[in-house]
A and B are shown apart, each in its own frame.
Chain A
Amino acid sequence: MRKLNIDVFRYNPLDPESKPHMQTFVLDETPSMTLFIALTQIRETIDPTLMFDFCCRAGICGSCGMVINGRPGLACSTQTKDLPDHIVLQPLPFFKLLGDLSVDTGTWFRQAWERIESWIHTDKTFDPNEEEERMDNELANEIFELDRCIECGCCVAACGTALMRKDFLGATSINRLARFYIDPRDHRTEEDFYEIIGDDNGVFGCMGLLACEDVCPKKIPLQDQLGIMRRMTALQSVRGIVPKFLLDRLSPRRCGCSCSEQHND
Chain B
Amino acid sequence: MTSPSIRKHTDNAPVVVPSRLDIIQAITGVLLILFLWAHVFLVSSVIISPALMNGIADFFERTYMAQIGGPLVLLLIVYHFLIAARKMPFRASEFMTFWRNARSLRHKDTWLWVVQVVTAIVILVMASIHIYVVLSTLPITAEQSASRVQGGWLPFFLILLPMAELHLGIGFYRLGVKYGYITRASRHVWQRNEYVLTGIFILIGLLTLVRFMLLTN
On A, residues with C-beta under 8 Å from B are 67, 70-71, 93, 117, 119, 121-122, 158, 160-161, 163-165, 191-192, 194-196, 198-200, 204-211, 213-214, 221, 223-224, 226-228, 230-231, 233-234, 236-238, 252, 258-259, 261-262
Q: A195, A196, A206, A210 — which one has the most chain B CB atoms within 10 A of its CB?
A: A210
Contacts of B8 in A (CB 8 A): 192
B 1-22 binary contact with A (CB < 8 Å = 1; else 0): 0110101100000111011111
Question: Sorted from nearest, which 6 A-B pairs have the closest CB atoms?
Answer: A227-B180, A237-B19, A70-B104, A237-B16, A208-B178, A210-B109
Contact between B186 and A227, CB atoms less than 8 A apart: no
**A205, B18: Cα distance in complex, Å:** 9
Q: Please choose the segment from B30-38, B94-102, B120-128, B192-200 that sits at the chain A interface, where 4 or more of its residues have CB less than 8 A away.
A: B94-102
Contact between A208 and B105, CB atoms less than 8 A apart: no
**A165, B97: Cα distance in complex, Å:** 10
**A211, B177: Cα distance in complex, Å:** 12
Q: Is B110 an interface residue (CB 8 A)?
A: yes
Contact between B184 and A158, CB atoms less than 8 A apart: no
Contact between A230 and B180, CB atoms less than 8 A apart: yes
Contacts of A208 in B (CB 8 A): 109, 113, 174, 177-178
Contact between B180 and A160, CB atoms less than 8 A apart: no
Known: A194-B14, A209-B110. A234 touches B22 (CB 8 A): yes
**A49, B157: Cα distance in complex, Å:** 60
Q: Is B39 an interface residue (CB 8 A)?
A: no
Contact between B183 and A223, CB atoms less than 8 A apart: yes
The smallest beta-carbon distance between A202 and chain B, in angstroms, is 8
Contact between B104 and A67, CB atoms less than 8 A apart: yes
Residue of B nearest to A196 (CB): B7
Residue of A nearest to B96 (CB): A164
Residue of A nearest to B179 (CB): A231
Choice from B2, B22, B105, B185 contacting A262 with Cβ under 8 Å? B185
Main secondary structure of the interface of B (DSSP, over half): helix
The smallest beta-carbon distance between B177 and chain A, in angstroms, is 5
Q: How large is the interface on B (under 10, 10 to 19, 20 to 34, 35 or more residues)?
A: 35 or more
Contact between A224 and B18, CB atoms less than 8 A apart: no
Contact between A70 and B180, CB atoms less than 8 A apart: no
Known: A198-B18, A198-B19, A208-B174. A224 touches B101 (CB 8 A): no
The smallest beta-carbon distance between A83 and chain B, in angstroms, is 14
The smallest beta-carbon distance between B83 and chain A, in angstroms, is 11
**A211, B111: Cα distance in complex, Å:** 10
Contact between B109 and A211, CB atoms less than 8 A apart: yes
Contacts of A160 in B (CB 8 A): 97-98, 101-102, 110, 113
Residue of B nearest to A123 (CB): B2
**A38, B181: Cα distance in complex, Å:** 42
Residue of B nearest to A242 (CB): B23
Contacts of A198 in B (CB 8 A): 14-16, 18-19
The smallest beta-carbon distance between A190 and chain B, in angstroms, is 10
**A204, B19: Cα distance in complex, Å:** 7
The smallest beta-carbon distance between B185 and chain A, in angstroms, is 6
Contact between B7 and A223, CB atoms less than 8 A apart: no
The smallest beta-carbon distance between A110 and chain B, in angstroms, is 14
**A252, B15: Cα distance in complex, Å:** 22
